[in-house]
Amino acid sequence: MKIVTCVAPVNIAVIKYWGKRDDKLILPLNDSVSTTLSTEHLCAKTTIMISSEFQSDRLWLNGREENCENPRIQNCLREVYALSRIYEIDGDISAIARQGSGSACRSVLGGFVQWNKGDQDDGSDSLATQLAPANHWPEMRILILVVHEKHKKISSKIGMEQSVKTSELLKYRVSHCVPQRIQDIKQAILNKDFERFAEITMKDSNQFHAVCLDTFPPAVYMNDVSHAIVNFVHCYNKLKGHNALAYTFDAGPNACLYMKEHDVPKVLGLLSVIFPFPGEEDSYIKGIPINKDTIPQEMQAAFGMEQQMEGSLKYIIHTRLGNGPKELKSQNEHLLTDSGVPKNLVI
């Protein structure tokens, strides 16, 4: 009997992946760049157990048993079994992750990561590489603003398939806009040039959602609260006189804000003025503990944005960059009991 538990991080793209050149191998139309978040506050935890006493392969997701026959799961398992046969991982783990979910391949590395689209038909060069580790830019902080989702949204898989089929602007984005942005943001990251990093990140988020809107029928992921957050960031940067804060939005209404550590108290102070929280302050801001600034009346007036409806934001997660996936050795971290069933089983 053998048991292993790992945590894998969330990654947030600053140059977005949208559109596949191969649907089966999950090969992207363009390179993308992301930051890997710390697993302290957001992660996916997996326990794998092998035993000669088990009758068959079984899989639980959030305590609920799932069918192992799903082709994406099978693709990954086949690759992992092949690797395990030689008893050490000498393949590129990002190539395996990519076949589960494209952007997941960026989560196998920490810090700043580039997913190279690759040119080979078999996808052998469509791999993730690290641009810089998390400790290259230790002042970098992240706020995840969780927004109420009112509508049934289009899955990103379907959305990007539709974009490839119908958006004329996607072609231009892929061929003309992204290559330059990849070069520019790599330079900004290596030089720790926050101004430039922020500008490119915001522009690329906007362009990704522009392509979604140019899709037919349009794929709309941001809502009025998301756009109010965009407005908030531009107001904050105007107040500061430079790009001290950046937003990016994935295929959903939640915002990811980047800023340097010293800006966090003021940003949180202003957020709680503009997006008032109806409940207890403690449950509003999760993650790294911090005292937010009290915002003087004059600053609020000068900010140039009206207060939004109470409860527009569900909560905020305050986090930082992280080092990628890791194994948890402690016995009580395992999700499975000694007999191989989930400790928290949902029936």
**Which residues are at the interface with a second copy (CB under 8 A)?**
150-151, 168-169, 172-173, 176-177, 199, 202-203, 206-207, 209-211, 213-218, 220, 223-224, 227, 230-231, 234
Shortest spacing between CB 236 and a second copy, in angstroms? 12
Shortest spacing between CB 282 and a second copy, in angstroms? 30
Closer CB to a second copy, residue 8 or residue 202?
A: 202
Shortest spacing between CB 164 and a second copy, in angstroms? 15
179 sits in which H/E element: helix 178-190
Shortest spacing between CB 310 and a second copy, in angstroms? 15
Shortest spacing between CB 227 and a second copy, in angstroms? 5
Residue 227 DSSP label:
H
Answer yes or no: are the C-beta atoms of 68 and 57 closer than 8 Å: yes
Dist CA 137 CA 143 (whole Å) = 16
Closer CB to a second copy, residue 196 or residue 203?
A: 203
Shortest spacing between CB 309 and a second copy, in angstroms? 10
Closer CB to a second copy, residue 170 or residue 264?
A: 170
Closer CB to a second copy, residue 228 or residue 321?
A: 228
Dist CA 140 CA 203 (whole Å) = 19
Neighbouring residues of 290: CB distance < 8 A, sequence distance ≥ 6: 264, 265, 268, 318
Answer yes or no: are the C-beta atoms of 230 and 181 closer than 8 Å: no
Closer CB to a second copy, residue 40 or residue 195?
A: 195
The residue type of 82 is A
Beta strands across the sheet bearing 313-320: 245-249, 255-260, 140-147, 313-320, 285-287
Closer CB to a second copy, residue 49 or residue 174?
A: 174
Closer CB to a second copy, residue 22 or residue 214?
A: 214
Shortest spacing between CB 169 and a second copy, in angstroms? 5
Closer CB to a second copy, residue 92 or residue 149?
A: 149
Give the start-end residues of each E strand in 105-240: 112-115, 128-132, 140-147
Dist CA 305 CA 225 (whole Å) = 13
Shortest spacing between CB 273 and a second copy, in angstroms? 18
Burial class (CB in 10 A: 0-12, 13-18, 19+), 96: buried
Residue 342 DSSP label:
B
**Between the CA atoms of 25, 28, 29 and 30, what dihedral angle is there, to the nearest 10 degrees?**
-150
